[in-house]
Amino acid sequence: MLLNETLRLLRVFHDMKQNELATKLDVSNSYISEIEKGNRTPSVEVIQKYAAIFKIPVSSIMFFSENVREAKQGVDVASKAQNAIASKIVSFLKTIEERTERDEE
């Protein structure tokens, strides 16, 4: 999972619009949009602000943002488990996002 998708899912999970988040982060709406599209990489400072706003450790944000890749030869069991857990949690968050969108229609 890429960092941009993780940050977008955090925002959506907390039912926050891009402009609301931009205000809380003290950045422009277009900056949030560019981050979420993957066109810009947020600074460490911005990631720390995300962590504070959503009350989640920076390490957790980074954990979920790791790319979930097919296991390569030589990857230890702990890494495989970590990737599997991250993938499941991201899938869960996407399911919540889809249900929220359906409920709003």
pLDDT tens, residue order, the chain (105 aa): 578 888 998 899 899 999 999 999 999 999 999 999 989 999 999 999 999 999 999 988 887 776 433 333 445 555 666 677 777 787 888 888 888 888 877
CATH class of 3-104: mainly alpha
What is the rounded radius of gyration, in angstroms, for the C-alpha atoms of the chain? Answer: 15
In this prediction, residue 98 carries a pLDDT of 86
Q: What are the sequence ranges of the domains in the chain?
A: 3-104
In this prediction, residue 20 carries a pLDDT of 96
The pTM of the full predicted model, rounded to 2 decimals, is 0.65
Segment (H or E) for 41: none
CA distances from 82 to 7, 16, 71, 98 (A): 19, 28, 11, 24
In this prediction, residue 78 carries a pLDDT of 56
